[in-house]
Structure 1
Amino acid sequence: MSVLPNRDRQAERREATRREIVDAAWEIARRDGLAAVTLREVAAMIGMRSPSLYSHFDSKNAIYDAMFGQAWTVFLAQAEQHFANLPEAPREALLAMARHFFDFSVADVARYQLMNQRAIPGFVPSEAAYAPSVEVMALLHQAMGRLGITDPADVDLFLALGGGLLDRQFANDPGGDRWTAQLPRVIDMLADDLDLPGPPLRSRR
């Protein structure tokens, strides 16, 4: 007769409370902006006294840290699946990677800002929270390496071009597609510079 391991119900309740706190912080950030997250506001949202939060997070930045790690963990899981199913044509693969990150980013502006911009003065993610983003970058380098793009500077340029378009999208056409529509042209320009084969992506718009 097999015996199931004893459940640590106290640890389960503690983890559930931490998730509830983080979820409340995201709700505030998405509604009012990342800077609006406060211990008092989070506590009020989940029916807890502010001092009680300190038994789960020792500071507001600790909550941001959990949010940061959660966001990159979600994207890492998506990236692992996405990068495993890229188109074979190099230009199409580059465009697919750019669109995937673009779609993920515009779906949640607050999440994108925390993940990719220094939106919170004084906040630096912990090594543990930062680890999923490092894994994402490793996956990206591997995927681009399979396309023949091995120079780290070329990967940096790919990221800078996508990030620049995202910044313009958020600033000038939130909820629209003005800058999303530029992705094929931008990827074509990068592909031309890198001498990647294939017909221009722009002709398929």
Structure 2
Amino acid sequence: MSVLPNRDRQAERREATRREIVDAAWEIARRDGLAAVTLREVAAMIGMRSPSLYSHFDSKNAIYDAMFGQAWTVFLAEAEASFDHLPEAPREALLSIASHFFDFSIADLARYQLMNQRSIPGFVPSEAAYAPSVEVMSLLQRTFHRLGITDSADLDLFLALGGGLLDRQFANDPGGDRWVRQLPRVIDMFADELDLPGPPLRSRR
């Protein structure tokens, strides 16, 4: 007869509480901004006394760290699934990659800011929290190599173009698509610079 391994119920409860704390922090950040996250506000939201939070997170930055790692872990999983079904044509594949990142970013401003901007003075993600973002970059590099783009400077330019459009979108047309609609044009400009094959994306709009 097989014997099931003993469950560590205390560890399960502790992990569930940590998830509840992080979820509450995200709710505050999405409502009032990342800077509004405080231990007192998080504790009040989940019905816990502030000192009790220290048994799970020793500082506010530790909560940000968990949020950062969670956000990049979610994006990594989505990117892995998305990149498995990219179009064969390099220009279309690049547009698919950029569009996925745009959709993910626009869906949650607070998450985008924590992942991609230095929004919290003094906060530096831990090595463990940063690891999923490193995996994302490795995935991008492998994917770009498959598309025939091997210079790391070209990947840097691709990320800068996308990040610039996102910043303009958030700053000037939140909830709209003014800069999102520029993606095919920007991808064509990037592809032309690299002499990538394929008909222009703009002709298909």
1:101-123 Cα offsets, whole Å, 9 max, x none, are 00000000000000000000000
**Runs of 4+ off more than 4 Å:** none
Aligned pairs for 1:147-158 within 5 A: 147-158=147-158
Distance in 2, Cα, partners of 1:126 & 1:73: 14
Gaps of at least 5 residues in structure 1 are: none
- Give the alignment of 1:1-205 within 5 angstroms: 1-205=1-205
Shift of 1:199: 0.5
CA displacement at 1:139 relative to structure 2: 0.3
C-alpha separation in 1, matches of 2:161 and 2:118: 18
SS in 1 for 2:88: coil
Cα deviation, 1:20-79, whole Å, max 9, x if unaligned, reads 000000000000000000000000000000000000000000000000000000000001
Take 1:176 and 1:60, find their aligned partners in 2: how far apart are those partners?
33
Q: Distance in 2 between matches of 1:99 and 1:66?
A: 26
Q: Deviations over 1:83-107 (max 9, x none)?
A: 1110000000000000000000000
Give me the whole-angstrom Cα distance separating, in 2, the residues matched to 1:89 and 1:107.
27
Residues 141-170 of structure 1: per-residue CA shift (max 9 Å, x gap):
011111110000000000000000000000
Q: Tell me the amino acid that sits aligned with residue 108 of structure 1.
A: D
CA distance in 1, matches of 2:164, 2:141: 20
Name the aligned partner's letter for residue 2 of structure 1: S
TM-score computed with the length of structure 1 as normaliser: 1.00
Task: For 2:144 and 2:87, locate their aligned partners in 1 and report how far apart those are by CA, in whole Å.
Answer: 12
Aligned-partner residue type, residue 44 of structure 2: A
For 1:177-200, what per-residue CA distance to the aligned partner results, in whole angstroms no more than 9, with x for missing partners? 000000000000000000000110
Distance in 2 separating the partners of 1:80 and 1:131:
15
RMSD: 0.4
Partners of 1:110 and 1:26 lie apart in 2 by 8
Question: Take 2:141 and 2:158, find their aligned partners in 1: how far apart are those partners?
Answer: 11
Alpha-carbon distance in structure 1 between the residues aligned to 2:28 and 2:115: 16
Cα distance in 1 between the residues matched to 2:139 and 2:155: 12
Quick one: which amino acid aligns to residue 120 of structure 1?
I
Within 1, Cα distance between the matches of 2:175 and 2:141?
Answer: 30
Unaligned runs of 5+ in 2: none
